[in-house]
Structure 1
Amino acid sequence: MPLHWKLVIDCTDAPALADFWAAALEYQVEDPGPLIGQLLAAGRLGEEAVVEHHGRKTFRGYAGIRHPEDPFDATSGVGGGRRLLFQEVPEPKAGKNRLHLDVHSESGGLDKLVARLESLGASRVREVDQGPAGHWWLMRDPEGNEFCAA
């Protein structure tokens, strides 16, 4: 039986980076509000473990996004399919990523995709054109993590 997985990305501002990637991939930011409410009411979670972002309660230091068509738990908001989790770490990014995402455009839509990603806060690093083998842009998200737009 195949294993379930999620990609975890270290960052300095989990809610903000989740917002960027949710918009970039057209995913949904997970809403753990109902679970946080239950945990706070039961005394199993302290207020110091919670922050508010865009009017919703979320766990301090964490934010997840999920594919809008995949199943999810309504109480925790956690997706049961394609999912990215952002976790805050104290140190800033240093060096090149050892793993990165490739974001694919519709056929002939690379310029439109790159412009949309830039409008969300991404930046271009360099264009790669390998003729028939492929054409893409190496880009950075708002925290400097490299990804490719193809």
Structure 2
Amino acid sequence: MNNFKMLFIQAVKFGIVGFLNTAVTFIVIILFKELIGFSIYIANFAGYAAGLMNSFIWNRAWTFKSNQGDLKRQVFLFIAIWCFCFAIQMGVLFLLVDIAGIFEYVSVFMAMVVYTILNFILNRWITFNSKSNAEDNK
């Protein structure tokens, strides 16, 4: 399969997994913010944390078909990239809510877009890179 077609298919699969994780994330955010009464930032963290394990399992097995790589290495990289992308997302959220004054849930959605694009790029080329995973199995 040519590289562009494979990249496109992976991006679509990543989007599907991401859509499901976004639903989980939003539900947890709303539950933590509205029902429990936590701040938007704590609720946001809880929402992203809720989708992390599900995201890793589906992206490793289905999106990138990377079940042969070193699991510990992939988990570490996935979590490290998640932390980096989440920090960027939180910064964007802060700018949109506290600086620009945009409605919280609209801001969460906008920050998610930034997070998702960055997360796909980094996981595609670092965590689930078939070349580096092949080297792990030597």
Same fold (TM over 0.5): no
Larger strand share, 1 or 2: 1
Which entry has the higher C-alpha Rg, 1 or 2?
A: 1
Larger helix share, 1 or 2: 2
